[in-house]
Chains A and B, each alone.
Chain A
Amino acid sequence: MLNYCIKRIYSAVIVVIVVSIITFLMLSMVSGNAAILALGTDATPEQLAALEHEMGLDLPWYLQYFNWVKGLVRLDFGSSMLYGTDVLTLIIQRLPVTLSLALFSMLMSLTVSFILGTISAVRKGGIVDIICRSIMQLGTTIPGFWLSIIFIIYIALRSPVFPISGFVSPSESFEGYLASIFLPSLVLAIAETGSMLRAVRTSMLQSLNQDYIIMAKVQGLPRWKIYIKYGLRGALAAPLNVAGLKFARLLGGTTIVESVFSLPGLGRLVLVAVEQRDIFLLQGTAMFITASVVLISLAVDIITALMNPRMRLEGEQS
């Protein structure tokens, strides 16, 4: 177990380093003109040179990278030229929106997937199973931006409950917050439910094939107990792991719904950074998001490994 954790942490650290190199190199290809962007096109060459020197843009790339990473370690993600404030502040302002979207959509997706996936595995070949298999196939092909528009046209525009756009902070009105986050979360949830369902169904089918199910049947336990108490309990770990990893990746996957529903989250921040060519903002935000994804995934993997008795057993022996 300890071995697994160490290995897993080691590879996560390597990935974060590689990600930082990719982010830096990729975006420094466009950042040559950062000084021009900051000063405007009518700046004199002397002014430009002075600013480039001040920003450290005249240094060789590895020194620039080194300085940038030194900043990251001290949680200095650089400062935005567009907003004139530091990137971390901007991120922290927008994080609640994106976190809410990721959390709610995963909760919705998990609830539906566990209910349908369990029935689908227990009644293999039944109506629910057929519906589930269609969802698995169709779920990933429906584009989120199209679904968002359809929800706006047919739900938001016709119901007084859900706003077409905008985010209501929970401190303002909790109902308003839920209403403002519901439809976009639903769009994300639908996109995730195909693979979530598959994970639950596969895991449940495996669990129903285990010896403890035979034992429960031999003991003449009632059906619901066999399926829920024994079957589902044995099927929890893998889908929860998938859900955790999906949650992590959603931190960088909400751009489209945030854009359609005009929600001020991380995705929109990225989009604004690209549109306005605010490279430091993009660099900082991309790095923050991806590092969070890697670290959350790491935590999820370790937690689910702890749930897995085989892994724990290895720990006892070693």
Chain B
Amino acid sequence: MKKFLKKANPSLIIGAAIILLVAVTAIVAFFWTPYAPNVMDNAHSYLKPGDDPAHLLGTDQFGRDILSRIMEGSKTVLIIGFISVICGAFAGTLLGSIAGVVKGPIGSIIMRAMEGFIAFPSALLAIMLVAVVGKGETGAIIAISIYTIAPFARLTNTMILENENLPAIKAAKSFGVDSKRLLTHYYLPMMLPRLLTQFSASVGSAIMTEAALSFLGLGVQPPNASWGLMLSNAKQYALLYPYLAFAPGIAIIVTVLGFHLLSDGLGDLLIKRRS
């Protein structure tokens, strides 16, 4: 542990601290928020931050407490971000591994399909996927998972092709180690550092995509709280109540930055740089 802390770089520490903060907020939000996030209170609508010490970040047009909704939103963000990237990363790694180990027509069909997915501009692909699976939270999760598959598949496949000529792998093959064991016991440990780095970066972009989809009305639906949705709401009242745009925007920036920093930090820590 001490050794680990010694090697840790600023990116890693700051990134991990930010994510820890968001995670704690989300856990607290499961049990307690200052106000019920979806309950309207028209008597206290449009309170600016600082107007009323009871509402730290103010209230929106329905008098809902913004701090509570940000906390509630952190839950949504982490759940959608993690579930979708875990599913996508798993499927992608599996597909990439199959393509790398099996090769032949199956392998090349898989990889061609992945290249096809990567060719789509990412915003367009996300929107198309939502059109297929439907709006809403589940739709967003499925869309983002599918969207995460291709990059993981390509990364895994590249790593396997890079490593398959290593003496250790060749030796294992000559001993008759079967493909499944080869993957889990030989390739996976080698690939883990880069997969983890990619995972962290992917959660960051999944959160960004979720926010964008919700902002466009394709993700989380009202009255539920999501940072993207809150911004979409802020847009309508931007003229008179610009403060509505601050809290959710900053929440998104900080969280995404946290995952990017963690990814950079992990990369520096775990991946041996080729010189």
Q: Determine if A256 and B216 form an interchain contact, defined as CB atoms under 8 angstroms apart.
A: yes
Binary per-residue interface labels of chain A (4-26) against chain B in the complex, 1 for a CB within 8 Å, 0 otherwise? 00000000001100110111001
Chain B interface mostly? helix
Interface: B166 (CB within 8 A): no
Q: Once the chains bind, are B132 and A145 in contact (CB under 8 Å)?
A: no
* Bound-state Cα–Cα, A252 to B128, Å: 11
Interface size class on chain A is 35 or more
Are A259 and B216 in contact, with the CB atoms below 8 A? yes
- Complex formed: what's the CA distance from A149 to B234 in Å? 8
Chain B interface residue number, banded: 35 or more
Q: How far is the CB of A82 from chain B (nearest CB, A)?
A: 14
Question: Of residues 128 to 153 in B, which have CB atoms within 8 Å of A's CB atoms?
Answer: 128-132
Q: Does B164 contact A (CB under 8 A)?
A: no
- Shortest Cβ distance from A145 into B: residue: B215
Residue of A nearest to B214 (CB): A145
Check if B120 is an interface residue, CB within 8 A of chain A.
yes
Which residues of chain A come closer than 8 Å to B238, judged between CB atoms?
Answer: 149, 152-153, 157
Q: Say how far A138's CB is from chain B's closest CB, in angstroms.
A: 7
One digit per residue, 1 when the CB lies within 8 angstroms of any chain B CB and 0 when it does not, for chain A 135-159 equals 0011011111110011011100100
Whether B98 sits at the interface, judged by CB under 8 Å, is: no
Is A249 an interface residue, CB under 8 A from the partner? yes
Mark each residue of chain A from 265 to 287: 1 if its CB lies under 8 Å from any CB of chain B, else 0. 00100110111010100100010
Interface flag for B28 (CB, 8 Å):
no
Q: A149-B234, A157-B239 are in contact. Are A14 and B124 (CB under 8 A)?
A: no
> Shortest Cβ distance from A124 into chain B, in angstroms?
18
Write the nearest CB–CB distance from B211 to chain A, whole angstroms. 6
A199 interface contact, C-beta 8 A = no
The answer to whether A271 and B127 touch across the interface, beta carbons within 8 angstroms, is yes
- Report whether A294 and B128 are in contact in the complex, using a CB–CB cutoff of 8 Å: no
Cβ-defined partner of A153 (8 Å) among B215, B245, B248: B245
Which chain A residues border B239 with CB–CB below 8 Å?
Answer: 153, 157
Q: Is the CB of A282 within 8 A of B131?
A: yes
Across the interface, do A149 and B218 meet the contact criterion of CB distance under 8 Å? no
Give the shortest distance, in Å, between A56 (CB) and chain B (any CB): 20
| Cβ B130 vs Cβ A274 within 8 A | yes
Q: Are A274 and B261 in contact (CB under 8 A)?
A: no
Q: Could you tell me if A137 and B124 are in contact, using CB atoms closer than 8 angstroms?
A: no
In the complex, the answer to whether A260 meets B112 with C-beta atoms within 8 Å is: no
Query: Is A30 close to B, CB under 8 A?
Result: yes
Picked from B132, B232, B261, the residue with its CB within 8 Å of the CB of A26 is: B132
Q: Establish whether residues A255 and B128, one from each chain, have CB atoms under 8 Å apart when the complex forms.
A: no
> With contacts A18-B116, A271-B216 known, is A282 near B123, CB below 8 A?
no
Closest chain B CB from A158 CB (angstroms): 11
> Which chain B residues have a beta carbon within 8 Å of chain A's beta carbons?
112-113, 115-117, 119-124, 127-132, 204, 208, 211-212, 215-218, 228, 231-232, 234-235, 238-239, 242, 245, 248-249, 252-253, 256-257, 260-261, 264
